Structure 1
Amino acid sequence: MSVGKRITYRDAGVDINRGNRFVELIKPLVRSTYNKRVLGKFGGFAGLYVFPTDRYSRNPVLVASTDGVGTKLKIAFMMRKLDTIGIDLVAMNVNDIVTCGAEPLFFLDYFATSKLKPEEDVEIVKGIAEGCRKAGCVLLGGETAEMPGFYSKGEFEIAGFVCGVVEKEEIIDGSKVKVGDTVIGIASSGLHSNGYSLARKVLFEKLKLDIHDVPSPLNRTLGEELLEPTRIYVKSILALKKEVNLKAIAHITGGGLLENIPRVIPENCSVLLDSSLWEIPPIVKLIKIGGRIDRNELFRTFNCGIGMVVIVSESDTERALKKLGRLREKARVIGEVRRRKKGEDKITVI
């Protein structure tokens, strides 16, 4: 057997120097999210974070979540625009834990690709760092994996993990929701990060649209519309929580309004939503008409213009709406809680 040429890790497709270059590029972005609770130096084996006992000293409960951005990544690949997909990644995680009333403390990310391109891929982390700042949490660490031949050329995968905290007595779990309570919808910024497989099927396969087209009724390119970052509601929800008794919060993600609201209300309650009370976004209308999407399918796939739902007592409704307005959130009453009859669905949209 001939030994021949020496083989290196780089020959196999993994370039450690390229990885080191990437780390140097992201270092200032990661540090831009740090606060006084971060210990240790950048690049350690683990992230160290001092628990905020000064603010959570009674019965603190840790809250965690993990998520990705689904096939919205495909749009980023098509556009070769990577600077906002990281915002989506953070949003999908922090918006989930704030439904419990939790404040996000730190975030971790996982980025895997067949071949690192440091000067391009740094844009992903730029978005993650921006998302963390918007949510008020630290980007404490992450993993970058160069995996030759595992992903198609120019494609990658990202995932995120968040840890937050809430006092046990302040956990919002929907158990106090009762008949007569008000359902308030907070506007989304677009499709957010759900329903993209159906959206791509309709827009690109059926309607044969191009990512750079500006189809009616949109006023910007399809790519720009589809890449609009997911709105981060953390600071608004935590500020609202200080002034209003929030009985339940639902993040309208996969499953849309029809699947997510029932998750946060008691079994003896149902919610009636009136879709005439808010505006369905143009992009959703385009997909609905173009794909001849059934109304029920539409409301269980897309957020349909509502990114977050809060349920409050009728007496707190006006105060909640005014506070959300001051926080620059577009919010309105979209429904009410009713007594659930035997065999009735937990949610109805009229």
Structure 2
Amino acid sequence: GKNYPEKIEQIVKGVADGCVMSGCALVGGETAEHPGMMPDDEYDLAGFTVGVGEKDKLVSGEHLKAGDAIIGVASSGVHSNGFSLVRKVFDINEKTIDVYYDELGTKLGETLLTPTRIYVKPLLALMDEVRVNAISHITGGGFYENVPRMLNDNTLAVIEKDKCFKLPIFDLIQKTGNIPERDMYNTFNMGTGLMLAVDSDKADEAVRILKANGEDAKIIGEIKDGEKGVEIC
């Protein structure tokens, strides 16, 4: 797109805000214009991070076991995944994003643009006090594709959907697109952006620490013996 200084300022501010939230340093960047390649008001944004982890603090999943509690941490909305389906369901254009929905309490576009939660600092604060046995960031692929990545063989994650966080945007997407429930849980975070497993006797403490650091968290399930996978009940 075209280099409009006021738009570039907004983009860079968003990146900088994200860096502050995650404790990262923004050490470089480049802006290039390609006349004729993209419309003036469209932009392609890419970035990456490099981190250093202490080996003895890595969450490898080796401590995960049956009986562990699964804690869910609330998402802020759709986050950054599932937008291909969202665009199809709502036929996204300049008119549809300005439609006001009572169940959302705002326009569709405002809800969809809610910034993605960055859990770095609250999670680090938790890990200073409680051993986290496994972590799953609920991104593209929803519950069914992300949660198994934190499991060991012969461990099953049993999640009670009535205990999970709920956001009206997901009910609206499902209703508008007539989407089967399993497909919803296989695409979106459904209101829970992060899951982690801790020893059951540490679960209440973990929830307290996460809440003290600005996150909404609660126990939503447990780890059981069984074939590796996810059971939503």
TM range (shorter): over 0.9
- Alignment correspondent of 2:10: 123
Where 1:290 maps in the other structure, the secondary structure is: helix
- Alignment correspondent of 1:337: 223
- Alignment correspondent of 2:75: 188
**What letter is aligned with 1:197?**
S
Shift of 1:209: 6.7
- Using the size of structure 2 for normalisation, the TM-score is 0.95
Contact 1:270 1:340 in 2 (8 A): yes
Of structures 1 and 2, the one with the larger relative CO (CA 8 A, separation 6+) is 2
Q: Which has the larger radius of gyration?
A: 1
Determine the C-alpha separation between the residues in 1 that align with 2:102 and 2:6: 36
Correspondence 1:239 to 2:122: no
In the TM superposition, 1:162-311 aligns within 5 A as 162-204=49-91, 210-311=96-197
The Cα offsets for residues 92-129 of structure 1, whole Å up to 9 and x where unpaired, read as: xxxxxxxxxxxxxxxxxxxxx3x222222221001111
**What letter is aligned with 1:297?**
D
- Using the size of structure 1 for normalisation, the TM-score is 0.64
Where 2:81 maps in the other structure, the secondary structure is: coil
Determine the C-alpha separation between the residues in 1 that align with 2:109 and 2:87: 11
- Alignment correspondent of 1:20: none
Shift of 1:267: 1.5
Task: Select the residue among 323, 331, 334 that pairs with 2:209.
Answer: 323
C-alpha RMSD over aligned residues: 1.5
The Cα offsets for residues 234-254 of structure 1, whole Å up to 9 and x where unpaired, read as: 100000000000011111111
Unaligned runs of 5+ in 1: 1-112
The structure whose residues are more often strand, as a share, is 1
Where 1:160 maps in the other structure, the secondary structure is: coil
Contact 2:74 2:165 in 1 (8 A): no
**What letter is aligned with 2:207?**
L
Correspondence 1:145 to 2:28: no
Where 2:172 maps in the other structure, the secondary structure is: helix
Unaligned runs of 5+ in 2: none
- Alignment correspondent of 1:62: none
Contact 1:281 1:304 in 2 (8 A): yes
Where 2:29 maps in the other structure, the secondary structure is: strand
Where 1:161 maps in the other structure, the secondary structure is: coil
Shift of 1:164: 1.4
Where 1:159 maps in the other structure, the secondary structure is: coil
Contact 1:175 1:265 in 2 (8 A): no
Contact 2:99 2:107 in 1 (8 A): yes
Identity over the aligned pairs, expressed in percent? 43
Determine the C-alpha separation between the residues in 1 that align with 2:185 and 2:217: 19
**What letter is aligned with 1:346?**
G
- Alignment correspondent of 2:230: 347
Task: Select the residue among 34, 45, 63 that pairs with 1:158.
Answer: 45
Paired residues in the alignment total: 232
Determine the C-alpha separation between the residues in 2 that align with 1:317 and 1:187: 16
